[in-house]
Structure 1
Amino acid sequence: MSVSMQARLPTSRWSLGAVLASAFVVALGYGIVLPVLPMMVERLAGSTDPAFNARQIGLLTAAYVAAPVVAAFLWGKWSDLIGRRPVLVIGLIGFAVTLAASALAPSLLVLYIGRILNGGFAAAMGPTALAFIADTEREDDRRTRVFGWMSMASIAGFLVGPMLGGLVAELKLDLGVAAIPPQTIPFLLASGLAVAAALGVWSVLPGRMLPGPRVETSKPGSSMFVSGEIRLLALAAVTAAGLGAFEVGLTLRNVELAMGPAALGLMFATCSVVMFAVQGLVFSPLVKPAATRLLVAPAFLVMAIGLAVMPTLAGLTEMLLAVSVVSASAGVISPLLAYWVSRISARSQGMELGIQSAAVSLGLSVGSAAAGLLFGSQRLEGAAFLVAAAAMGLAAIASLNLPLPLAPARHEARPAPADQTDAAV
């Protein structure tokens, strides 16, 4: 099957910058509300019960990441049909509007609805941006590095988000009619940045460039997945579940130990800095793309160890060390799985990366909700980290022989997108 398309050119610096900035803003929009979410829940629910609030925080986080389970696939498929730029712009504008609506939510129910819609629009970013990169980057080494840059942009957004959220939440704005609740300011700030990102994407990304022709994934009657693909998707979901449990568990553990917002911001900042540094090394010219498949199993094992020790730690320095171990491992695993899924699949990039984003969102949703529910039970507070550690240990075992099905991908690469010419059938 083929479709009408235009010859594609390598990504321009401006286009790549706009895509990276958009990934940064969406990640920032997620992270900026984390420090104020407990205050939002307490204000809207009128409850000071720690167990109740813990469950609500976990479920609100799960609501945000659950929406992409369906939405990511649809966004990716839609971007294959109408192009990457319009989908990115619609996603960013919708993200901005739903952030603003969440900031002004009059009840906990409306906040839940806002977070679901917010996550649904945010889901447009991941698969569409990565598909744009896969469409336009012709060389494997370059494509690998740009995939890494996308992940690093998201990490940078998550690094800045919690710190900025905690900072601006201390501001008191008075517009002459009524003072704006400080918990709403991070939402509104991220909303404005998303609008700016949408304008940037619309201005610099090529508007008429369409994806390349789809390749038949298999013979009639055979599986729709290539060898190793299902395992990669499952591992991506498990990794995301561990991260979801880790993020919610870290937030609630901070409340449990009464460390305060500053300590929580420092832990999230440490997490992001370590991820950023690790990915800068893994996706540098020093590491060949073909060798990265050997890193997955060891990274899962290290992540399991870091999660397992978290319930036993009470000091800030000890927790920062454990956070560094977990984040370093996750920083290796997540972008590598995204790269290899894109590398071995024969589907159109938007659809394939949409499927992966859906798997990741499912994992995040399950992990976040489970952590909130476990922390909501006084007898099972530490179980959130231990269950996540057990899942990472199983994933390490499952990925031991992963290099074998991935090895042929080096010799069975798809034609470089830039080498394709106009065609219509």
Structure 2
Amino acid sequence: MIRLAKTLERRQSRALAALVFSAFVIALGYGTILPVLPQMVQRLLSAPNAVDIARHTGFLTAAFAVAPLATAFPWGRLSDRYGRRPILILGLAGFAVTFAATTIPLSLTFLYVMRLLNGGFSAAVLPSAFAFVADTEADEQRRARAFGRISVASSLGLLAGPMIGGLAWQRLGTMPFDEMSNGAFLLSFLVAGGAVVAAATVARAIERGPPPRQKRDDLESTAAAKSGELRLLVLAGVLAGGLGLFEVGLTLRSRSLSITPTELGSMFAMCMAVMLIAQGIVFSRLVKPETTRWLIAPAFAVMAVGLAMVLLAGGSDGLLIPTSMVAASGGLLAPTLTYWISWIAKRGHAAELGLQSTVTSMGQALGSAGAGLLYESFDVSVAFLAPAAVLAIAAVASLQLPRQLETTPAVARDPGGKSVAE
């Protein structure tokens, strides 16, 4: 029995390592291409100008984020029906092929198509990865830490991506257009090759077969569980919208404060580091998973205050505190909401998490677009105070959420004091 337990634990560790690496590669691919897009667009336009370059760069960035709106939920349904492993492998393989094609564009139209496909395939990975953990890990403490590790890996990929892309472009930018493919191979090899390795690792580390079905009939039939599920999905969309608006709004705000691109890049890097620290603390052995539901409302409140405080900053130094507040609350909320949504899923884990990805993508797209419209159409204060008010409302709406989540297996207890999930 002891040997069997150790064998199962080793298999679980290998599977988690494969999932963590997969999440890192997907986020790395998204971040790597961002610094390169303006230069790629410039070389593909017949008569490039600043307005067209900016417009196509924004649309191409949005194309990756919008694609999961149509694909995340179907991927989740397929994962629930056919198993996590085949969907993970298909998503990673498709991501590898489309990313390689993206770095060697034949035309602007071709680049748009590849960006859409790249985002569509990426949407298959995270929901299936989180669902696999929820399916196979019975201990709630280990499950929470696994969710945290996958989230941290994704954040690390987002942090490392722009740096790698910027370094690669130091070579790409000095090449004539017909030699661009030689330099683009650097990006293609790093990310697409990494995705292929991740797919192979998943194929070896994750068992075959459909995901195990957990008995949740008693949970799914309760009105409280359904209400909590809907509220969590809405909060996930609000969070994504707030973060998307913050990123774009901060970029626009930096221009009026005469903050250089280098300082702005360092500020975003600091935000990612703060997110990593927040995620590492919340999903560590120091915090019990069932207590994280009490952190949701305070985190939304802190994020709302941080957005409002951006208006008080007079320079890059003054932005350190408000941006840290937004980053820490965002880093805490993203994996926490995912963790609780996985618990009260009523259509199967991956389908529910795929729906969350869809809602998140919609929120991010609306937030990013809304930031530009608010900043352009109204006073700068409206661009930050309006979303701050929405986040404050989300904080108030979250106050009753911990009691609703008491019906979930993560916190429901039998008379002996043990978790039902155990």
Normalised by the length of structure 1, the TM-score is: 0.84
* 1:210 pairs with 2:198: no
Partner of 1:190: 191
C-alpha distance after superposition, 1:103-142 (max 9, x if no partner): 2234443333222111111101111000111111111111
The C-alpha deviation readout for 1:297-341, integer Å capped at 9, x for no partner, is: 111111112223335545222334332211101011111111111
Unaligned runs of 5+ in 1: 1-7, 417-425
Q: Report SS of the residue matched to 1:315.
A: coil
Q: Structure 2 vs 1, CA of residues 324 and 382 (structure 1 numbering), >3 Å: closer, same or farther?
A: same
Q: Which moved more, 1:307-316 or 1:254-263?
A: 254-263
Contact kept? 1:215, 1:348, Cα under 8 Å: no
Measure, in 2, the Cα distance between the counterparts of 1:109 and 1:67: 16
The C-alpha deviation readout for 1:345-370, integer Å capped at 9, x for no partner, is 34421222222222112212222233
Report the Cα distance in structure 2 between the residues aligned to 1:38 and 1:217, rounded to whole angstroms: 51
CA contact (8 A) 1:56 1:372 kept: no
**Bigger mean CA deviation after superposition, 188-197 or 128-137:** 188-197
- Residues 99 and 179 of structure 1: is their aligned pair in 2 closer, same or farther, counting only changes over 3 Å? closer
Cα distance in structure 2, aligned partners of 1:334 and 1:69: 18
Segment drifting more, 256-265 vs 68-77: 256-265
Identity, in percent, stands at 47
Could you tell me which amino acid in structure 2 is paired with residue 170 of structure 1? Q
With over 3 angstroms needed to count, the CA separation of the structure-2 counterparts of 1:211 and 1:105, relative to structure 1, is same
CA contact (8 A) 2:220 2:346 kept: no
2:277 counterpart residue number: 277
Q: CA deviation at 1:87?
A: 0.9
8 Å CA contact 1:169, 1:185 repeated in 2: no
C-alpha separation in 1, matches of 2:129 and 2:332: 20
Residue in structure 2 matched with residue 249 of structure 1 by the alignment: 249
Matched with 2:393 is 394
Q: Does 1:69 align with 2:95?
A: no
CA positional deviation for 1:221: 11
Task: Please tell me whether the aligned partners of residues 245 and 367 of structure 1 are also in contact (alpha carbons under 8 angstroms).
Answer: yes
Find the aligned partners of 1:124 and 1:26 in 2 and give their Cα distance.
10
Give how far 1:254 is off.
5.0
The alignment yields a C-alpha RMSD, in angstroms, of 3.2
Greater Cα shift, 391-400 or 302-311: 302-311
Residue 316 of structure 1 aligns with which residue? 316
- For 2:206, the aligned partner's letter is L
Q: Which runs of 5+ in 2 are unaligned?
A: 1-6, 414-418
Partner of 1:39: 39
Alignment of 1:28-177 (within 5 A): 28-45=28-45, 46-49=47-50, 53-172=53-172
Relative to structure 1, is the Cα distance of residues 398 and 378 closer, same or farther in structure 2, using a 3 angstrom cutoff? Answer: closer
CA 1:61–1:336 in structure 2 vs 1: closer, same or farther (change >3 Å)?
Answer: same
Cα distance per residue 1:179-223 (max 9 Å; x no partner): 4486885466322222222222223222x1321236575899997
Count residues with an aligned counterpart. 406
Deviates more, 1:161-170 or 1:386-395: 386-395
| Native 8 Å contact 2:219 2:407 kept in 1 | no
Q: Which residue of 1 aligns with 2:25?
A: 25
Deviations 1:259-301 (A, max 9, x none): 5553343222111110111111111121111211111111111
Answer yes or no: is 1:334 the counterpart of 2:324. no
The secondary structure found in structure 1 opposite 2:287 is coil
Q: Select between 220-229 and 13-22 the one with higher mean Cα deviation.
A: 220-229
Report the residue type matching 2:243 in the other structure.
L
Taking the aligned partners of 1:56 and 1:29, their CA distance within structure 2 comes to 19
Q: Which amino acid aligns with 1:192?
A: G
Q: Give yes or no for contact 2:140–2:421 (8 Å, CA) kept in 1.
A: no
* Displacement after TM superposition at 1:155 (Å): 0.9
| Alpha carbons of structure 1 residues 222 and 320: separation in structure 2 relative to 1, 3 Å | closer
| 1:217/1:108 CA distance change after superposition, 3 Å | farther
Q: Which moved more, 1:90-99 or 1:59-68?
A: 59-68
In terms of mean alpha carbon deviation, does 258-267 or 218-227 score higher?
Answer: 218-227
Q: Is the 8 A contact 1:215 1:347 kept in 2?
A: no
Q: Secondary structure at the match of 1:212?
A: coil
The answer as to whether partners of 1:308 and 1:389 remain within 8 angstroms in 2 is yes
Change in 2 beyond 3 A, CA 1:265/1:351: same
Question: Per chain length, whose mean CA-contact separation is higher, i.e. which structure has more relative contact order (CA < 8 Å, sep 6+)?
Answer: 1
- One-letter amino acid of the counterpart of residue 197, structure 1: A
1:363 alignment counterpart? 363
Alpha-carbon shift at residue 154 of structure 1 (Å): 0.7
1:101 Cα deviation (Å)? 2.0
Q: For residues 226-264 of structure 1, give each alpha carbon's deviation from its aligned partner in whole angstroms, at most 9, with x where no partner exists.
A: 231100000001101112222333445556766555334
Other-structure match for 2:229: 229
- Given that 2:168 and 2:187 are in contact with CA atoms closer than 8 Å, whether structure 1 keeps it comes out as yes
User: Quick check: which one's helix share is greater?
Assistant: 2
In structure 1, what is the Cα distance between the partners aligned to 2:75 and 2:398? 29
CA distance in 1, matches of 2:224, 2:67: 24
Range with greater deviation from structure 2 (344-353 or 381-390): 381-390
Report the CA distance shift for 1:223/1:294 in structure 2 as closer, same or farther (over 3 A). Answer: closer
> What amino acid maps onto 1:408 in structure 2?
T
